[in-house]
Structure 1
Amino acid sequence: MGKRIRVVAGLTVASVAAMVGMQAQPALAVDVPETGLSIFEGTFARSVLYVAEPDGSCLAMPPTADSLTGERTIEQVSAFTGPNCTGDQWNLGTFRTFKAGKYQSFRAYMFDRPLGS
């Protein structure tokens, strides 16, 4: 019984340490606009592209890009392994890291806005 208690206690300590570590992650080190799509290199360290109002057009992904964040108005970012939105498609969402050079192009979409707004 004593060995079982030590194992459970050890797992509990490890779980708590993991949760504390996840909550202690630092905020982004760069200024991020409140709207639009920002693409970074160095895992959110340096901005390499900003698209204020993406319209679903196919755009080239900067070759050094490895992270992105789509703020408020962005619904989805779809990245492609080939140029001109060809090859395998990956829906990245609006906050993501990825291996630099993995994607060559992307499309970003904004939430639909009601007419007149």
Structure 2
Amino acid sequence: MRERIAEATPFQRFVLLGVLELDGDGETPAYSFDVYDLLEERVDDLAGDRIVGVTRSDVIETLSVLEAEGLLDEERPDDASPTGKGRPTYVPAVDRAEALDVLGGDEMLAPVVATLRE
């Protein structure tokens, strides 16, 4: 798991961190738009300038990649409303503490990780 996170792109690590934050707040399983909204708020909290913006399409694509890599689990809700029907939701498939340890080693993500550990 540590290797998969370390080998992920900066944006993939940022998206994973977003899902971990939502999970820590009890807001998972999360839809892609929930992750997008959080990341849009958090992008200014990152150190450096490797990520300067967030698009919904990038978030959706990255959630799928992270699920394929085994870092997230995809769920399809049984009781979805007509507007959410068929849309996947995501939960972490990794140990939160261990993932935060790895992500905290990323200079860009460290400020956000520090707030999640408070």
TM-score scaled by structure 1? 0.26
| Larger gyration radius, structure 1 or structure 2 | 1
TM-score scaled by structure 2? 0.26
- Structure with the bigger RCO (C-alpha within 8 Å, sep 6+) is 2
Structure with higher helix content: 2
Structure with higher strand content: 1
